[in-house]
């Protein structure tokens, strides 16, 4: 049934009697409860929920359907990640979890090289200073 058809039926119902208006409204509400949520509606529900919690920047990353009744939405927040589970039949959020993203620790050559270079340069500068001070008191030149 299209929305235009519904409006026409309601206008015609007003001319009839009050009971038929209530019947048509009840029929529309039954049709809306029987319809299931799709991925787009679930994503909007989850992001609106997170924005209501105060997270202004809620960007959905992934939506997956877990079984026939549940959707799992992964949402990226400013410095955190959120996982929201929505019941498609009841159209409500069953659970959510907000956690900090895992920090990738820099291991290997790329993180230790600057430290090693700084250490070597520091040792060279310190040796140069010591040798200059010692050379003032000794007759032999090291440099």
Q: pLDDT of 51-75, one tens digit each?
A: 998 888 888 999 998 888 899 999 9
Q: What is the mean pLDDT of residues 92-101?
A: 88
Structure token digits, residue 42: 């679930």
Question: Which CATH code of 3.30.70, 3.40.50, 2.60.40, 3.10.450 fits the domain covering 39-99?
Answer: 3.10.450
Which residue shows structure tokens 């029929």?
A: 27
pLDDT of residue 126 exceeding 90: yes
Q: Is the pTM of this model over 0.85?
A: no
Residue entry with tokens 């019941």: 87
| Domain definitions of the chain by residue range | 3-34, 39-99, 104-143
The answer to whether 81 and 101 are in contact (CB under 8 A) is yes
3-state secondary structure of 1: coil
């Amino acid at each position: 049934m299209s929305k235009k058809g519904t409006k026409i039926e309601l206008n015609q119902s007003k001319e009839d009697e009050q009971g038929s208006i209530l019947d048509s409204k009840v029929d529309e509400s039954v049709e809306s409860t029987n319809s299931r949520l799709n991925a787009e509606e679930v994503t909007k529900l989850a992001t609106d929920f997170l924005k209501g919690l105060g997270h202004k920047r809620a960007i959905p990353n992934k939506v997956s359907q877990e079984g026939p009744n549940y959707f799992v939405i992964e949402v990226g927040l400013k410095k955190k990640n959120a996982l929201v589970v929505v019941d498609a039949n009841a159209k409500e959020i069953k659970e959510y979890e907000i956690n900090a993203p895992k920090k990738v620790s820099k291991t290997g050559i790329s993180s230790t090289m600057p430290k090693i270079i700084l250490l070597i340069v520091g040792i060279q500068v310190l040796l140069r200073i010591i040798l200059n001070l010692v050379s003032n008191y000794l007759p032999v030149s090291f440099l």
